[in-house]
Structure 1
Amino acid sequence: MPQIATLTPLSIELTSPQSANGQRAAFQSLWLLARMKHAHDAEGGLVRLADLRGEVSDASTLRMVVSRAFRDFKAWNIEVGWGEDTQREPRFLNAERRSQGPFWLPPAEARRVRMLVSGRAATAAEVASFLGLRSRKARTAEPGSPPPDAVHLQDAAFWKQLVASQQAARQGRLMAPVAGGSTAGSPASALESIRLAGTLAATDFQRALVTLNEAMLWRRLGDNEQARRRLQALKKQRLAHHVAGNDYLGAMECIVSAWCAYTARDLPLAQSLLGGMANDAARGLVLRHHPDVRFEWCNLWALVCRSRALGLSADDKPTAAALAEESLQRFGEALAAAFESHSLDAAQHVAANMGMAAWLFDRVGLSDLPALAHDGHADTTRRAVQWIAFSEWLCGHTDGQGRSAWNAIYLMRIARGHCRPEPQPALAQFRAQKPLDPAAISQLAGPLADAFDAAHWPARWVEVAQARLADHQAGRRRYPGLQHCSLLFEHAWYAAHVGDLKAAEQSLALLREALPQLVPSDRAYFTESWNDTLPAELVLEAKPPRRPAARKKTVRRSG
C-alpha cells in the first residue's frame, strides 16, 4: 500500500524556559509563532506589526525581531506567510516585504503547531495569558481607558474638519491660491482643512482617513507624485496597525492608485489595478457591498474602457464597440451606486461622463451600440446634452455644491463639434461657422433646460469660459491642469469666433505656459487642436507648439 505522508508536529513549550521540540527557543520567535497559531484558530488569521509592539519589541527593533523569528522558523522547518493575501504559498512571496507583515500560518502548518504548558496541552486561557491578550483586554476595560477606536468627545472637531475638507473639494476650493494663500475671512481650502483634521486625529483610523483624503486631493489637483507619496504612507499605516475599516481603506487605496495611472494615461496599469481589486477576496467583498467604493470602481473602469474604445475605433471596430458598450454599462452601474449611497455629487460626475461618452462614441462611428438602442437611436447630441444637463441640475440642487467645469467644457466642445473647416482656415471662414449657442443647447436639454440658469450660463460661450477662468484666477475655484487648459482653449476658440483675437491670444499664451504639466497624450490633443482648428491669423500671432517630430497615427479627438 502507498504510504500516506504525515506532517510532523511542532511542539512549543510556553513555560519558561521556552522551547520548540525540546530545544531552547528565543522568546520573541516562539511568541510570534504562538500568536499566529492563536490568530489562525480564534481570530482573522493575521498578526500585524502592531500586535508585536509592546509585547516582544518596540518600534526600533521590530525588523530585527522579525528577521530572527524567520531564521528560527526555518530551523524549525515551519512555513510562515506574510502580506494580506493568505491564499498565497509562502515560498513564492517577496522576502523584501516580509518585515512589513502582516504574518500568518497556512492551515496545514497551523495544524502542526502544538502549544504545551509543562508538557501538556495548553488551555485557551493559558495561551491568552502567555500572549498577554487577557491583560490587554483588561486594560481596555478599565475606567478611563476606552477602546482605541472608540468615539471620544473631542472627535467632533476632527469630523467637522473632515467634512469641511470634503465640502471645499466639492466646491472646487482644492487649495489656496498660489499668491498669498487664503485671505482673511475666506473659507479654508480642502487641503488646509484636511491638514487641520490631521492635527486633530486621535485614532489610527482617523489618521489613515486623513492620509487617504490627502491622496485623493493631490490626485484631483493633478499631482500624481504627491498622491502616490500619500498612498505609500497609507499603506504603511494599514500594515503597521490594526486599523478599523482596513478593507475599505485598502480598496480606496487601490482605486486612487488606479486613478493616478489613468491620469498618467497608463490604461493597462489602471485596468490591472482595478481588476486585481475585484478579484481580491477582501476588497472584492467591499466592492460588492460598499456603494461608494462600487461607484468609484465602476466610474473609473468605464472611463478606461471609453479611452480604449476611442483609441481602437479606427483600427479595430469590433473591439472598440465592445469596449464602448462595456463603458456605458459600467457608467450605468456607477450611477446606480451613486444613488444607492445618496451621493448627488457622485451622480453628477457619472452623468456628465455618460453624456460625453455617448457623444464621443458617435463622433468615431460607435453610435450603433445596444446600450444606446433602448429609445430607437435618438439623436446622440440631444442625448449627450441631456445627460450633461442632468449633471448640472444635480449640481444646482446640492447644498453648497460648486458648478462643474467639466460640464461647461463638454458642452462647449459639443456646441462646436460639427464645425470642421480646413486646417487653419482664414478668419472669415472660421467666423462663418455656426456652433450651437447656449440657447440651442438649452433647447436640446428639453425638460432639463432649467439647469442652465443665467447666473452661471451667460448668453455667449466666450462669457461662459471667461467666468470660469475668472473664478480660477481669483482663487474661488482651483481647476486642475487638464480642466484649466481645456477652459483656456475653449475661451480662445470662442473669443476668436466672435472676433476678439487679442483675448484669444492671451488665453493661448496662458495655455502654452500650462501645457508642460500635462501628460504627452493630452499635450498632443491641444497641439493638434491649436494647429488645425484655429484661424490662420490667430495661429500666425500665437505660434502653436510644435507637433511631435515623428507623428504616429492617432485618433482625432473631439476638438
Structure 2
Amino acid sequence: MTEAPDLIEIELSAPYRVKGEAARGQSVWLLARLWHAQQFGDGAVSAAALRLGFPGQNNIRMLISRAFADFARWGVQAGWGAARGRPIATLPLNGRSRGPFWLTADMASRLRFRAAGVEVERDWLEHFLGLPREKPESPAGDLSYLMRDMRFWQQMAQAIRDEYDGFGRRPSRQVAESFHVARQFAGDDFQQALALMKESLALRRSAQLDGSRSALKRLDRVLDAGSVHHAHPTFAAMACIVKAWERYSQGDADAARTALEHLQTSPELQPVFRYNPRVRFECLNLLALLHKHAATSGAGAARQRDEAGAALQALSGALEAAYEADSIDAAQHVAANIGWCLWLFWQQGLVDPEREQRVGAVQLQAMRWLGLSEWICDRFGYGSGSAWNLIFILRIARGNCPPPRSRSLSAFRAQQPLALEDAIAALQPLHASLSPAKGFSRWSSAAVLALDEQLAGNAAFPPLQQANLLLEAAWFLLHEQGAGREAADALSRLQALLPSLRRGERSFFNSELQRLPIEAPLTDIRPEK
C-alpha cells in the first residue's frame, strides 16, 4: 500500500512559515497565488500577473529563481510554460521567468494555507493576494437599486455630454468638475469609481496631473474594496488603463507596460480587450506611446527599430478600434499619433532605412494624418485645446532642414522647409486645418497666432506646449525675417519659460537653441547640471 504524500502547512500570518520554518514572504505569496489559480482560476499565473503582484520589484527574474529554490526546499513542485502536461523534471530552465506558472492538481491538494493556525477561506486568501473578490448577488426582485435617487445618472449624463460638446477645449476644469459633481451623488462603489475614473481621465487630458493623481488615489481606495471588478469587467479594464496612464505620466514605462500586459493576458480582462473596441483602442494607443518611448530611448539600433515597428502596428490597430467603437475623439487622437510617429521614426531612420520613400512624401503623409486629426477637432469640437497638432505640423514642415555646417544666419535662411502651398495642396480635402483663418499665411504666423491667443486668455496651453510653440515661432521667424524684433521676443519668452520645465525638457530646448544661427538674439545658455 502506497503512503499518501505528506501535507505541507503554509502559515500566511506574519511571520510567514512553511512546514514550521521561517519562509520568504514573496515565495509564500507566489505559492498561494499558484494554488488559488489551480483551485479557482484557469490553473496558471502569467508573468504579467506576477509583476502586478510586486509592482516595486525591478528584478522579477531573481524573485522567481528564489521562489523556485524555496519551493524545492519545501518539497513543492511547480511548473512553468504552456505545456502543463509535461513532467516538471523535463521542463527547460531557459525562459522559466517568462511563465506562465502552475501547480498540478495533485500538488495543490497537498497544500494547506492557514492564518493564525486556522485554515483560510477563499475570501481571506483573495484579500491576502490583493485579488478582486466576488460581489454578492442581490436577491431576485430586489428593487432597492432601481428606487434610488437618479441624480447621479443625470449628472453623469450631463458630464458626458459636456465632454462630447467640446468643453474640454476651454481653459477650465469644466469637464472634470462635471464628473466631480456626479460623484457627490454616487450611491455605491461602482458609481463612485466610475465618476472618479472619468474625472481622473479628464484632468489628465487637460494636463492637470496633480488633480488626476489625486482622483486616481481615491479610485484605488474604492477598487481595493473588491466589489467592482468581477461585476463590471469592462470597467475594471478601463481602470487598468487609467492606472497605466498614471504610471506613464510619471515616467515609469515598465509599470505601465506591465499593467497593459495584464489587461491583454488576464483570463478575466482579456475577453474585454478582444471584444470591446473602446478598451482595445485605449490599450493599443497607450501601448504605441510606450513603444515610441522605447524606440527613441537609445537602447540600440535593432531594438529601437523593433519598437518603432511595434508602435506603428499598435497605432494601426488603435485606428481600426476607434472607428469600430464609433469614437470620433479616439479617431482624432490616434490620427495625430500616427502622423507624428510616422515622421519621427522615418526621420531617425527607424523605419524605411533604405529610404524608399522621399522625404517630401513622408512629410506630406504625416501632415495628412495630423490634418485629419485637426479637421475632426474643428468639425466636431474635440481636442481639449491642445497645441500639439500645430507644433507637430510646424516641426515636420522644417524637418528636412538639418542644422547647416555654418551657423551663420545666411546659411540658416538658405534652407528650404516644406512650402506651405505644397502642404495645403496635399491636404485636400482636409486643407481647412491650414487655412489663413488659423494663421497659416506663413508658417511662423500660425505659431504666433496661437501664442497671441494664449496671451489674450482665449487658450490655456501648459508650459511645455508654450515652449514648443515659442521654439517653432522663433525658428520660422528667423528663417523668414531674420534676427528681428519678433524673433527676439519669441526667444526671450522661451528662455524665460525654461526654468518651469523639467530637466529633460530644458535639455531638449537648450540643445535646439544652440542649433540656431549665431546671430540669434539669445542670452547665455547654461548647460544642465
TM-score computed with the length of structure 1 as normaliser: 0.66
How far apart in 2 are the matches of 1:200 and 1:161? 13
Q: Does 1:342 align with 2:326?
A: yes
**Gapped regions of structure 2 (runs ≥ 5):** 9-38, 41-112
Q: Deviations over 1:518-543 (max 9, x none)?
A: 443333211211122x2323344x33
Q: Does 1:237 align with 2:239?
A: no
Q: Does 1:524 align with 2:507?
A: yes
Q: Deviations over 1:152-209 (max 9, x none)?
A: 5434531243124424666422526xxxxxxxxxxxx323333333334444333222
Percent of pairs identical after alignment? Answer: 31
The equivalent residue for 1:320 is: 304
1:332 deviates by 0.3
SS at match of 2:436: coil
How far apart in 1 are the matches of 2:315 and 2:179? 29
Q: Does 1:74 align with 2:116?
A: yes
How far apart in 2 are the matches of 1:295 and 1:318? 27
Return the letter of the residue paired with 2:296: L
How far apart in 2 are the matches of 1:232 and 1:300? 20
Q: Does 1:503 align with 2:482?
A: no
Structure 2 CA distance for partners of 1:166 and 1:447, relative to 1, 3 Å: closer
CA contact 1:175–1:192 (8 Å) conserved in 2: no
Structure 2 CA distance for partners of 1:513 and 1:323, relative to 1, 3 Å: same
The equivalent residue for 2:81 is: none
Out of 118, 143, 163, which is 2:160 matched to?
163
CA contact 2:375–2:432 (8 Å) conserved in 1: yes
Structure 2 CA distance for partners of 1:376 and 1:362, relative to 1, 3 Å: closer
CA contact 2:156–2:178 (8 Å) conserved in 1: no
Q: Deviations over 1:343-396 (max 9, x none)?
A: 1111111112112111111111123279x98x9999322221222222222223
1:461 deviates by 1.8
Q: Does 1:548 align with 2:524?
A: no
Return the letter of the residue paired with 2:459: R
Q: Deviations over 1:478-507 (max 9, x none)?
A: 333432321122122223332364333333
Structure 2 CA distance for partners of 1:255 and 1:162, relative to 1, 3 Å: same
Q: Does 1:361 align with 2:329?
A: no
CA contact 1:212–1:253 (8 Å) conserved in 2: yes
Q: Does 1:282 align with 2:247?
A: no
**Gapped regions of structure 1 (runs ≥ 5):** 9-39, 42-70, 105-132, 177-188, 550-559
Structure 1 residues 40-439: aligned runs within 5 Å: 73-78=115-120, 80=122, 93=129, 102=132, 137=139, 141=142, 145-147=144-146, 153-155=150-152, 157-167=154-164, 171-173=168-170, 175=172, 189-240=174-225, 242-243=227-228, 246-312=232-298, 316-368=300-352, 379-399=361-381, 405-422=387-404, 425-439=407-421
SS at match of 2:476: helix
Q: Does 1:494 align with 2:494?
A: no
1:400 deviates by 6.0
Structure 2 CA distance for partners of 1:234 and 1:171, relative to 1, 3 Å: closer
How far apart in 1 are the matches of 2:158 and 2:186? 10
Return the letter of the residue paired with 1:325: G
Structure 2 CA distance for partners of 1:366 and 1:349, relative to 1, 3 Å: same
1:339 deviates by 0.3
Between Structure 1 and Structure 2, how many residues are aligned?
426
Structure 2 CA distance for partners of 1:275 and 1:536, relative to 1, 3 Å: same
Structure 2 CA distance for partners of 1:369 and 1:424, relative to 1, 3 Å: closer
Q: Deviations over 1:259-298 (max 9, x none)?
A: 2333344333322232233222223232222212211111
1:214 deviates by 2.3
The equivalent residue for 1:452 is: 434
TM-score computed with the length of structure 2 as normaliser: 0.70
SS at match of 1:397: helix
Find the structure with the greater CA-based Rg: 1
Return the letter of the residue paired with 1:353: N
How far apart in 2 are the matches of 1:78 and 1:330? 43
CA contact 1:528–1:547 (8 Å) conserved in 2: no
